Structure 1
Amino acid sequence: MRKTNPALLSLFFLLTACQGTESEKPTEAQEELSLLEIYEDGNETILDDNYRNYYEIFVYSYADSNGDKIGDLNGITEKLDCIKESGYTGIWLTPIFKSTTYHKYDAVDYFQIDPTFGTMEDLKALVKKAHSLDIKVILDGVFNHTSLYNSWYESAVLAHNKYLKGQTLSEEETKFNTLYKFYDSEEEARASGHKYYQAGANPYYYEGNFDRAMPEFNFDSEFTYELIQSVIDFYMAPEIGIDGFRLDAVKYYYLGENDKNVQVLTRIEEMMRENNPNAYGVGECWDSNTTIEKYYQSELDSFFYFPAAGSDGYIAISVNNKEKLKGNYYRGSKDLEAKCQNGIPAPFLNNHDMARLSYSTLPDLQKFVFALLGMSKCTTFHYYGDDIGMVSTNLPSGDYKDSSYRTHYYWDDDTHESECQNVPNAVNQPQIMPCYKTQREDPSSMLSYITAINKLRNIYPFIARGTLVDGNEAEESANNSSKQKILTLTKRYEEKDYKVMINFSDTDEASCDITGYKPLAGLKIQCDNTIKFESNTLTLSPHSIALLKTE
């Protein structure tokens, strides 16, 4: 059943191009050393929609281009070919605006790139090259608060001082007086139920739910929306041309008031859409699936699906007891589609605020959880380092555990090319898997596996866009029994049915009847594993996946 594999041929040419060597036709042995088996329809096509494979880049830690050991925009630009090679079709950059902190989640000036990361011209060059590679770029929109050192806050304090003294305010001062959440007495601040701090030596207080240095915007003020619109317009204008925003901490616009937050998000979504009808917005609503479902009423494209993330997410739970818990994956996948039915689901496994999901002694399981993520109807989000199996098991003392989730990427263990220093207060993490360069040359590596997953999603649109079809077959295969090792999912896309068949066993082959279907592709955990189609029987090696379509 094996045919010459266009996807593998294109992958080979990408690899050699990235290495700067002359492309040669891969040998038969090189074709055989692959985690992917493509039987039909193997051409990779990137559709012009927002079902994509996103790669979150924590800018400080990813790639250094100028030798100062801090990641920067030019470093990312230099690595875009590698990102493309790995099958990613979108990147999310954590905050890049001028700030006093390494993480930049407190903007001092939204209209300046932080000088440690580069310049506005560097951002333009990054976006231009990304678009030439069919990679979308979204920025982190931290629109619930600013830095205490932002000139907007300074203007607001001056205006509020005049207001409290009964002095006449100019039109501009009147606007700034309403920009932040000020409380004119501690009693009023305390009654709000939110965190608050005194505004310097002034006799009033401001809301600061994240940190003393991060005063919250007042979303009852039209001026707040005016300023947010100015930021969105600036970066989405053709001169820069980003494709959308990841919206930070959307529950905190009006803390504890979800209906009002939905209204805010509706307005922000409209701002993006006015600039680009195909803009992409994804919100961070760290909450339950029922709350996330409510936020989709805003018509923002996506919200990160936290029930899928971490060691207690439904994906990790489904592999914790071999094949016995595969039903958790099926039910979790159904819930994902149901709760996000008005938009694009956005599940993920970890991010810059969470411990990396890792199975340091079980590398095949480390791969498998990303395959389960990749088989979902969704836009996937991988965190930088997921592609090479980075971990975050060593935690620093005190309140700095987040720093362990943001350590530097391993590019080359010999030359340390492009390598960054760790973020402040981080401790070194064990390097369980080899560096990028070594994994790139290993067809069974974590990097090769992540690439294979992304390639499958790019080749077969039904994976990311097809809707699960209820039926006895799925229900029966999803029972939590060790006797049934293969989970059979039916996806419907453009009025055609496809099957995704997943062997949840980590030790045993498993077989099933596939009458009425023919194979499209297979994904193996190791290159020397096998996927066999004989007559109407499919046999999957441990943790292998097969894709089929109706005959």
Structure 2
Amino acid sequence: MKNISILHDSHKLRFRSPFGAVPCGEVVTLSLELSLKESVDRVILRLWKDHREEQVDMVLSEELGEKRIYSGYISTPPKAGLLWYFFIIICGEETYYYGNNYENLGGIGRIYNHEPPSYQITVFKKEATTPNWFKESIMYQIFVDRFCNGYDEGEILNPKKHCVIYPRWDDTPVYGKCPQTGKTVCHDFFGGNLLGVMKKLPYLKELGINVIYLNPIFEASTSHKYDTGDYKKIDPMFGNNELFKELCHRANDMGISIILDGVFSHTGSDSIYFNREGKYPSLGAYQSKESPYYSWYRFEEYPDKYDCWWGIDTLPNVNEMEPSYQDFIISGENSVIKYWIRQGAKGWRLDVVDELPQEFVKKIYRILKELDPDSVLIGEVWEDASNKIAYGHIRDYLLGDELDSVMNYPFRSILLDFLLGKKDGQQTHLALMRLYENYPAQYFYSTMNIIGTHDVERALTLLSGAPPEHTLSKEEQSGYRLAPEQWELGMARMKLLSLFQMTFPGVPCIYYGDEAGMHGYRDPLNRGTYPWGNEEQEILSWYKKMISIRNKYAVLKTGKWLPVLAEGSVYGYIRLIENGLDVFQQKRPNNLAIILLNTNTEQEISLNIDIKKYRQSNMLDLITGQAHSIVDGILDITLKPLEGKIYIDGGK
């Protein structure tokens, strides 16, 4: 590009105001800075709005020497959705385009000689909100069979005919093969149950947990229970409906809410509704076209050829738009959604939410809020949820009428890449800024910020430098044990990772046992049993400290997030409450917290950070408990390898 410089930075208010996602009916100012000697004939703001193209002529708003600032003004549409834009600059016979960068990260874009990738503006409903109590919580995910057996003698409740019981609680889980079909089967059980969860409520309370998310607990053939057999019955190996009700009651008395896992895109083939195995006395869809459940399923060749989840014939897909199915799951007087909320659950996590029709999810959201406005609906989303495309349509997850929260897998990936040295501080910052820019604040602060789940490798395994999973056979993965130096490295990184998780906006979620040093590759090795009595005390104590800090300081929950440092192996940000109000205009004490992390495994880093704009008083190091002097508004510190710091102004 000859003698021309063009700049638009969507992260800065001088180029885009207001920042980030905006409500319907808001005026947005978009500006472009040009530095060139030749004359400019026309500067166009090209929009994609309401599924059609618009072109807005930008006006010269300021001249600074050779720099010219052009501005365009748009009103966001009355209907929530996504708005896209880029710029066209016409100079005589030359036409330049300016759009988003190659990675679609937002911020500083680049010049193209063709139509560029667009910048995104998320437009949400003005009344969009998420429960404040949830934004201030810390979650704990439990895979019930592997968490705790509530019977002291290890009694196994109501074992199934086909199941295999591990002889020892600390055995390594392994899947078997069906001798007839050769397919993997998940009929292995350790004996964890809801009584065990109830007995461990004091532990979770002491840990500082406010929300428990339970993997599926309804009757099903497998240990994972994503093959629902009866939506209205607790699996007999876990307990019964009355025990669940008591669990919710006791948890509520301790200030802990229960979130259930809703698997509504498919059922089990071994279920009341399909009944392929003939176990249930009811007339299932597989047995007869006269079954009341026949219309729930899609048969290609009745009865043995039917639509199923990812081709797994034990998981027949349902037609979610079938009225009788919607009535059963959502809207009926005694629907599944209503029944379990009335038993004491505080919300639902929707499995594979992208495979559920949008209308179906919105109906769940609406009914749930009618029943309990403070209840929570969470979706399993693995990508940026603001622009997630499922089956050819962009989903409305974060616009105000579909979900309260999503599983923040991008957050997990960003943090792991940073800790493992795959991305530096600046790349980490830009990846986080993409989410911050695309997510409305109500959702950015309510995302389920995960480090581990039942579907991914244990974080400790990844952080310890264990061989990549694809380089080992399943048998090798099962037998792999971390060497002492790997433990040391993994633990140091886990401390840093959990510090990041507990000080970042969103709802931290701990996968059971991560706080106790559990490790393992993916399913089934990430689903081992909690090591009661054999926890790694060093990491457990650290988690308790980080959680207590998070719970104590409101600034770490709903304070502003202001990145201050992003270079090399260092990343730092401020959390701030000023003028007695947090991000959501709730009354909170004024506070400033500064979080700094060094992911370098060998190098010590010295930093001088100017914070006079925010505070000049001394800070308290929350990890050591020591006061730290601030001289002339400068925070002068040294970070050791793999060290993180949390400073608070005066410790208030």
Q: d(CA) in 1 for partners of 2:309 and 2:133?
A: 40
Residue deviations 1:191-226, cap 9 Å, x none? xxxxxxx633xxx53333362111111022111211
Q: d(CA) in 1 for partners of 2:288 and 2:245?
A: 38
Would the alpha carbon gap of residues 457 and 47 (structure 1) be closer, same or farther in structure 2, given more than 3 Å must change? Answer: farther
Would the alpha carbon gap of residues 209 and 375 (structure 1) be closer, same or farther in structure 2, given more than 3 Å must change? Answer: same
Greater shift in the superposed pair: 324-333 or 54-63: 324-333
Q: d(CA) in 1 for partners of 2:428 and 2:561?
A: 12
Larger radius of gyration: 2
Match of 1:345 among 447, 457, 467: 447
Match of 1:376 among 475, 497, 504: 504
State the Cα distance separating 1:289 from its structure 2 match.
4.7
- What residue in structure 2 maps to residue 60 of structure 1? 145
Would the alpha carbon gap of residues 532 and 541 (structure 1) be closer, same or farther in structure 2, given more than 3 Å must change? Answer: farther
Letter of the 1:269 counterpart = Y
- What residue in structure 1 maps to residue 320 of structure 2? 219
State the SS of the aligned residue for 2:594: strand
Q: d(CA) in 1 for partners of 2:494 and 2:384?
A: 25
Confirm or deny that 1:80 pairs with 2:80. no
Give matches, 1:71-220, under 5 Å.
71-154=192-275, 155=283, 157=285, 161-162=289-290, 176-183=293-300, 185=301, 199-200=303-304, 205-209=306-310, 211-220=312-321
Greater shift in the superposed pair: 52-61 or 224-233: 224-233
Q: d(CA) in 2 for partners of 1:452 and 1:276?
A: 33
Letter of the 1:489 counterpart = I
Unpaired segments ≥5 residues, structure 1? 1-45, 163-172, 186-197, 254-260, 394-400, 414-434, 440-444
Residue deviations 1:64-104, cap 9 Å, x none? 11213511111111111111111111110111111110111
Do 2:421 and 2:599's aligned partners in 1 also have CA atoms closer than 8 Å?
A: no
Q: How many residues align?
A: 420
Residue deviations 1:328-367, cap 9 Å, x none? 3332332233333152222211200111112332121111
Identity percentage of aligned residues: 24
Q: d(CA) in 1 for partners of 2:259 and 2:595?
A: 33
What's the TM-score once normalised by structure 1's chain length? Answer: 0.70
The structure carrying a bigger strand percent of its residues is 2
- What residue in structure 2 maps to residue 282 of structure 1? 378
- What residue in structure 2 maps to residue 424 of structure 1? none
Match of 2:592 among 488, 498, 504: 498
Give matches, 1:16-55, under 5 Å.
48-55=133-140
State the Cα distance separating 1:131 from its structure 2 match.
0.7
Letter of the 1:140 counterpart = D
Q: d(CA) in 2 for partners of 1:369 and 1:263?
A: 37
State the SS of the aligned residue for 1:347: strand
Confirm or deny that 1:267 pairs with 2:371. no
- What residue in structure 1 maps to residue 29 of structure 2? none
Letter of the 1:334 counterpart = M
Do 1:503 and 1:540's aligned partners in 2 also have CA atoms closer than 8 Å?
A: no
RMSD of aligned Cα (Å)? 2.9
State the Cα distance separating 1:320 from its structure 2 match.
2.6
The structure carrying a bigger helix percent of its residues is 1
Do 1:531 and 1:540's aligned partners in 2 also have CA atoms closer than 8 Å?
A: no
Q: d(CA) in 1 for partners of 2:350 and 2:266?
A: 12
Would the alpha carbon gap of residues 549 and 531 (structure 1) be closer, same or farther in structure 2, given more than 3 Å must change? Answer: closer
Would the alpha carbon gap of residues 544 and 233 (structure 1) be closer, same or farther in structure 2, given more than 3 Å must change? Answer: same
State the SS of the aligned residue for 2:133: coil
Q: d(CA) in 2 for partners of 1:534 and 1:287?
A: 41
Q: d(CA) in 1 for partners of 2:213 and 2:638?
A: 35
Q: d(CA) in 2 for partners of 1:356 and 1:210?
A: 27
Match of 2:573 among 488, 494, 497: 488
Do 1:245 and 1:282's aligned partners in 2 also have CA atoms closer than 8 Å?
A: yes
State the Cα distance separating 1:227 from its structure 2 match.
1.2
What's the TM-score once normalised by structure 2's chain length? Answer: 0.60
Q: d(CA) in 2 for partners of 1:151 and 1:337?
A: 44
Would the alpha carbon gap of residues 519 and 49 (structure 1) be closer, same or farther in structure 2, given more than 3 Å must change? Answer: farther
Q: Deviating runs (4+, > 6 A) in structure 1? A: none
Do 2:365 and 2:402's aligned partners in 1 also have CA atoms closer than 8 Å?
A: yes
Match of 2:416 among 311, 316, 319: 316
- What residue in structure 2 maps to residue 233 of structure 1? 338
- What residue in structure 2 maps to residue 243 of structure 1? 346
Would the alpha carbon gap of residues 488 and 47 (structure 1) be closer, same or farther in structure 2, given more than 3 Å must change? Answer: closer
